[in-house]
Structures are given as C-alpha cells and as structure tokens.
Amino acid sequence: MNINTNYQNISDSYLFSTIAKKVNEFAQKNPDKKIIKLGIGDVTLPLCKVVVESLKKASDEMGVKETFRGYGPEQGYEFLKSQIKEYYASHKVGLEADEIFISDGAKSDLGNILDLFSQDNTVLVPDPVYPVYVDTNTMAGRKIIYIDANADNNFLPLPDDSVKADIVYLCSPNNPTGAVYDKEQLKKWVDYANKNGAVILFDSAYECFITDSSLPRSIYEIEGAKTCAIEFCSLSKMAGFTGTRCGWTVVPKALADGVLNKMWLRRQTTKFNGVPYIIQRGAEAVFTSEGQKEIQENLNYYKENAKIISDVLKKHNIWHIGGKHSPYIWLKCPNNMSSWEFFDYLLENIQIVGTPGSGFGKNGEGYFRLTSFGSRENTIEAVERLDKFLD
C-alpha cells in the first residue's frame, strides 16, 4: 500500500491540541492555581429548554414501534429543511428545500465539500485563517495561495484581479479576527468569483452574532452569489450544539448549472448516513419563535462577555477588533511580544488561556484571540486579573 504523503506537509499537532498540552503541563505543575480558559471557541451555556424538550420527545418516539425511525434521508428531514428555508426568508434570501443539506456541523462539510473538486484547483485563503481550510486542502495536495488580512485592511482583504484562484474561502464574521464584511465588500468577492469561474466556500457559522441589519448574514444577500457560492452554517454557536452536532450546507442549483448540487447529493447519499432523527428534531425547535427567543438570550450573554473583555482592553489602550458582531476578540499583543510569548506570559502569571494568533497564519503573529464563550463569573474574574496585571 501507499500512504497519502500530503499528510507529511501538515503539522503533527493541531493548534488547539498544542494549547491543551501546554495547559495540562502547567496544571500538573501548579495544581493549586485556577486556570481560566478563554481560548477554544466552545460554548458554556446549556441547550435552551425548548430544544431539550424536543430532544426528549424525539427520544421517546424512538422507543415506540409506531413512531420509531430508522435510516433517514441523508440530506436531512424535510421538517428541518423547511425551517431553515424560512430562516433564510426572514433575511430576505429565497432558497429551495433541495438546495439545503443537513450536516453534523460546518467543520465536517468544509472538508467534505472538497470531494467535488479536482486536485489541480488553486485555493485562495485569507491569512490569518481558520486552520481547517488550509489543512484539509493540504491533505488533498492542492496548491494554496494566501491573501493578506492585516490591520491596514481591518483584517478584511478584498480580491486582487491579478491573482487567479479556483476555490476561495471566506468567513464572516471571521474566525479568528471577528471582522465582518459589509455588502459592498462581499459584492467585490462575488464579482471576482463569477468573473474567474471560481467558487466561494462561505463559512457563516457566526452569522447569528450580527445585529446590524446593514451587514449581510448570508452571502446570498449579495446579487450574483448563487452562481458562485456554497454556504456553510452551524448550530454550534447559534444554539450551543457543539456537542450535539448539527448544521447545514447550501448548494444552489444556479451554481454550475446545478451540477454541484447533484454531485453533493450523490456524495452525501454515498458517504453520509445523515444526522440522527433525534438531533434534527432538537434542531427544528431552534427555529421556533420560542427557540429563537431563548437562543437570543444566550447570544446576548456571550455578547455581554465580549463587551466586558473589550472594555478592559480599551482601558489599557490595547488595540483590538471583534466582539461586537462576533464572540471573538482579536488583540495586538502588548510590548511587541510574539503570540506564543504572550500565551505563556498570561498562563504563567495570571493563568488565563487564549489562542496565539500565529496559529492562524503568519499574519496572526503578534496577535492574540480571546473568546467570550466562558461563563460570566470566569470572564469577570479573568478581566479583573488582566486589569490588575496590566496596571
């Protein structure tokens, strides 16, 4: 047998695995010190009540012969797809049910979608960037080129007509920076993709944090996007499904004359058995009026955490963006420290864990990501520690 040697071109350890190792080593040496984790973007609030009740009801159904469900449709049950269709309609985006594919989360599909594209496609990603975009394409042996995101362009790079790419990754609100594209900026990307026959893989996992109605929550709010973009979204951050696992991918039939929609359906029916019925019933409850009210309360909780973190950074004149329409705060490391130096500095001195910006690309060097997904108590304690330490 021959192995896929492209795996030799990725780092042995995933960014967050390296962080976990460092934190565990510190904890073993300092068992008396409380570590506050503001690094990995995992939620801390429980599932909302209406979702839990729906999960319980669906579980009971599975124990009764008349309501038991076996294999379901690989592309998702119609009851959930219709709810997602209405959710898009509330943002003035019209979709057909067969353009929506239920998944176990955006991360999986962002990698799996690459099955549809040949190895010789050139991939364009912003730098800094969510590592999964780079690693999955490196595993497949594709050529990757980068476009600089930096303080000069507010970490929102725009297309360069002299650079040709076939697959373009965009994330808005962005992970790791929290920056959000406006409609005019996204229109430039859509025009670039249509002009060059490229496809945009648009990660909208954090769209639920956008509160400004002038900012797009879906790329399909942009004219021409359906002929060039595939959108990925998730309930992980919207509704706390990080451990429950459910999301969706939109493949418009207007894209490539419907070829990619048919290919994705064929891929999913071949390689994927679908999201469990119980989970999809829980996801359905998210989109009810009661579900939307309850999840908004959770989102507001995280937004307040972000404000608490941002306020102390402003107090100490530390440059940062994000937080307003995103759970992430992207800050400039003080005193010209490198990203990992600042990581070690915080861990060793005040036991706060964040994410080194350099883990997201070369342009992330000298920056640091904090998350607002912690508990209110831990967020306040972390900020108090940081405030005293920075004085």
Of 11-15, 189-193, 239-243, the one with minimum mean pLDDT is 11-15
Where are the CATH 3.90.1150.10 domain residues in the chain?
A: 14-43+292-390
Q: Please tell me the predicted confidence (pLDDT) of residue 252.
A: 98
Write out pLDDT tens, residues 157-169. Answer: 999 999 999 999 9
* pLDDT for the residue 317: 96
Chain segment 176-216, per-residue pLDDT in tens: 999 999 999 999 999 999 999 999 999 999 999 999 999 99
What's residue 13's pLDDT? 66
Residue 254 φ then ψ, to 5°: -75, -15
Q: Is the pLDDT of residue 327 over 90?
A: yes
Contact yes or no for 275/346 (Cβ under 8 A): no
DSSP run (H or E) holding 328: strand 328-332
**Measured between alpha carbons, how far is residue 304 from residues 294, 311, 376, 380 in Å?**
16, 10, 9, 11
Residue 329 pLDDT more than 90?
A: yes
Using CA atoms, how far residue 107 sits from 81, 133, 235, in Å, is 19, 9, 12
Please list the residue range(s) of the chain that carry CATH number 3.40.640.10: 49-287
* pLDDT for residue 223: 98
Distance CA 384, CA 391 (A): 11
Q: What is the mean pLDDT of residues 33-49?
A: 94
- The Cα 104–Cα 40 span in angstroms is 19
Question: What is the 8-class DSSP label of residue 94?
Answer: -
93 or 13: whose pLDDT is higher? 93
Mean pLDDT throughout 7-28?
A: 89
Question: C-alpha 16: how far from its chain's center?
Answer: 15
Lowest pLDDT segment from 37-41, 64-68, 278-282, 352-356: 37-41
CA distance 295 to 239: 6
What are the tens digits of pLDDT across the range 215-236? 999 999 999 999 999 999 999 9
Q: Are strands 247-250 and 229-234 parallel, antiparallel or unpaired?
A: antiparallel
- Is the domain covering 49-287 a CATH 3.30.300.130 domain? no
266: pLDDT strictly greater than 90: yes
361 pLDDT higher than 70 = yes
Across the chain, mean pLDDT equals 97
275: left (phi over 0), alpha (psi -120 to 50) or beta: beta
Section 118-138 average pLDDT: 96
Question: CA-CA distance, 39 to 366, in Å (whole number)?
Answer: 16
Dihedral angle at the C-alpha atoms of 301, 302, 307, 308, nearest 10 degrees? 80
Residues 14-43+292-390: name the CATH superfamily. Answer: Aspartate Aminotransferase, domain 1 (3.90.1150.10)
Q: Write the DSSP symbol of residue 236.
A: H
Residue 323: exposure state from Cβ atoms within 10 A (0-12, 13-18, ≥19): buried
